[in-house]
Amino acid sequence: MTMLRRSWVPSANRADTPFPLNNLPCGVFSTAGSEPRCGVAIGDMILDLAAVEEAGHIDLTDDRLFDVPFWNEVMEAGPPVWGALRDRLTALLSEGAAGAELLHPHLVPQSDATMHLPFLVSEFTDFYAGKHHATNVGKMFRGAENALPPNWLHMPIGYNGRASTVVVSGTDIIRPNGQTRTPDAEMPTFGPSARLDFELELGAVVGVANAMGTPVTVQEADDMIFGYVLLNDWSARDLQAWEYQPLGPFQAKAFATSISPWIVTKAALEPFRTGTPAREKDLLPYLREPGPMLYDIDLTVRMAPRAGPFTTIAQTNYNRMYYSSAQQLAHHASSGCAMTVGDLLGSGTISGPDPLERGSLLELTWGGQRPLRLDGGEARSFLADGDTLTLEGSAIGDGYRIGFGTCTGTVLPAKPVRRL
């Protein structure tokens, strides 16, 4: 396991920081009176890469990479540039490096910064690739004998979502309106969702495109991934129950998806690679992995009612997934589908075998039948207006951690329904 890399930035050497020199996650930030710009987190500071590039301390290509408020330009420059940038920043920020004098003027306290979406989201695809989650949901709706659909053990199931409603952590989430129908009703009704839920996921950010008509291997797919974000795919379970047949989720998932403000690069996660679980059925050759493609990342979900304390309601690990992001990307491209720079792939809900490891309220309360008791005394089956959800994740190394920051959203009341 890699040791902590020490930096001349003091806060980067604390054991509890999510942003040591080993990490250097990519984000977009602004300060009072300034435009959004690219930066990397180091300890409790942000290194302003737009300013560093303008000062001539980073010169990786003939073109400027950081004069835009998103990381897509860097991603499009390709993996050799990703590696060169990481090497250059590591050298400049390392303890004892001459970079201290060069870069110190370009450090900004994170407490003074507002975070923005770190990249332009081209397309969003969400998967259903966690076996424990899929089994739990299947038991609720189809019974234990038919918990997994016949295709589930053969390929990662997914659907195309809405890139337009992917938002950065801290953005309020307005409760969606939609159609629902109770089992004994003849006609559906239209109004606010009463069964609003979260989904604990990891999102893979695609940094390399493939040409339309050109499938990719699992290894090539892994090489195409720039990094990862925490992802909360908010879900209206009552809307979903009425609409999902025959084409799957639609409005129940289209209203909001939150991501963490920092992209943790694949390079930072390399020491934490781990394999997928044993297969119950052999996968077809195009989905077989050449090596470990998951990561050992501890994940936590905390929930707080309005003006109430936070309660930890779920703790699990990304290593519980049945399919890796590389497999998901390879399957997505297997038909010849063109993947583009800035595509976002949601892992699907990450749940484990124990009750505390369930990554959604649907599972934690077993469809609302077993309400959660929060530390402040309130009970929840699904989310109420004013509730705040916070996702956190870290890969734990030897004396350091690779963190994602937080992925947070607060539920606001639905907008009034307009009628003719």
Residue 104 lies in a domain: yes
Q: What angle do CA 122, 391, 277 make, to 5 degrees?
A: 80
CATH number at residue 63: 2.30.30.230
Token pair 């709706």: residue: 141
Are residue 145 and residue 75 in the same domain, yes or no? no
Domain of 78 in residue numbering reads as 10-116
User: DSSP strand E in 268-377: where?
Assistant: 273-274, 294-295, 298-304, 311-317, 344-346, 372-373
Whether the CB-CB separation of 162 and 195 falls below 8 Å is answered with no
Q: The domain spanning residue 193 has which CATH number?
A: 3.90.850.10
Give the N- to C-terminal CA distance of the chain in Å, as an integer: 63
Q: Are residues 223 and 337 in the same domain?
A: yes
Does residue 183 sit in the same domain as residue 82? no
Of 86, 116, 146, the residue that ends a domain is 116
How many domains is the chain partitioned into structurally? Answer: 2
Please state, in angstroms and rounded to a whole number, the distance separating the CA atoms of residues 304 and 239.
Answer: 24
* 418 belongs to a structural domain: no
Q: Fill in the DSSP letter of residue 382.
A: S
Is 1 a member of any domain?
no
φ and ψ of 281, to 5 deg: -135, 140
374 and 304 housed in the same domain: yes
Give yes or no: residues 40 and 72 share one domain: yes
Residue 272 identity (one-letter amino acid):
F
133 is catalytic: yes
| 4 within a domain of the structure (yes/no) | no
Q: What is the pLDDT along the chain (420 residues), one digit of tens a residue?
A: 589 999 999 999 999 999 999 999 999 999 998 999 999 999 999 999 999 999 999 988 888 999 899 999 999 999 999 999 999 999 999 999 887 888 999 999 999 999 999 999 999 999 999 999 999 999 998 888 888 999 999 999 999 999 999 999 999 999 999 999 998 999 999 999 999 999 999 999 999 999 999 999 999 999 999 999 999 999 999 999 999 989 989 999 999 999 999 999 999 999 999 999 999 999 999 999 999 999 999 999 999 999 899 999 999 999 999 999 999 999 999 999 999 999 999 999 999 999 999 999 999 999 999 999 999 999 999 999 999 999 999 999 999 999 999 999 999 999 998 776
Q: Cβ contacts of residue 80 below 8 Å, gap of 6+?
A: none
Residue 301 domain flag: yes
- Looking at the fold, whether 173 and 300 belong to one and the same domain comes out as yes
- Cα angle value 409/38/7 (rounded, 5°): 95
Inter-CA distances, 71 with 26, 78, 247, 312, 357, Å? 8, 12, 33, 32, 33
Same-domain status, 217 and 271: yes
Last residue of a domain, one of 88, 116, 144: 116
Q: Are residues 111 and 78 in the same domain?
A: yes
**257 lies in the same domain as 313:** yes
- What residue has token string 């699990």? 316
- 23 and 77 share one domain: yes
Q: Which of 116, 138, 160 delimits the end of a domain?
A: 116
Catalytic one among 106, 132, 133, 331? 133
Strands (E), 70-155: 107-109, 114-116, 124-127
DSSP 8-state code for residue 71: S
User: Do 307 and 380 fall into the same domain?
Assistant: yes
- Euclidean distance between CA atoms 256 and 174, whole angstroms: 8
Question: Whole-structure pTM over 0.85, yes or no?
Answer: yes
Residues 148 and 90 occupy one common structural domain = no
